[in-house]
Amino acid sequence: MRLRFSLRLLFVVVALSAFALYGLFVRPTVLAERFVDAVQQRDFATADSLLAGNDFWAFKRPPNGEINRIYAEVMPRQWSDIWRFQRRIILRVVRREDKDGGHVEWTEDTDVVAGIRSLKIVYADSDGRYVW
């Protein structure tokens, strides 16, 4: 039996492979970098619109304390991120409260995961497992 070569089939395979690689590896990175850029430029409306169904409190009005700085960073890719087709982002909010002559500063870190379709805030439950 002789193996037949089809140029059309080769083009289809290459196109589908390129589309799959973009969707699985490049798209999460693009979403993560777009979110980080929006946070760094203090464009909180754009950053909030990238979060899928999650309203982040710092993009609205903080419950207490004044926000000094909001910082976001895309974490280096690890093997677990590659297998899950995601990029992790750390979102750090530095706040302060001046009240009755006292001065208190604190930071709050929030984990955000950029997937194929959108970004989601990740919370840890009481057992230490991450909940989407």
Look up residue 33 and give its DSSP letter.
H
- The first and second tokens of residue 12, run together, are 């289809």
Q: Residue 125: its pLDDT value, please?
A: 60
81: number of Cβ within 10 Å: 17
Query: Chunked in runs of 10, what are the mean pLDDT values of the chain (132 residues)?
Result: 83 94 90 92 84 68 69 91 90 83 82 88 63 54
Q: Residue 31: its pLDDT value, please?
A: 93
What topology is assigned to 7-131 in CATH? Answer: Nuclear Transport Factor 2; Chain: A, (3.10.450)
| DSSP codes of every residue in 49-66 | HHBSS---GGGS--SSSE
- The first and second tokens of residue 28, run together, are 């999460």
Cα 72 from Cα 62, distance rounded (Å)? 17
Q: Residue 61: its pLDDT value, please?
A: 61
Domain boundary assignment for the chain: 7-131
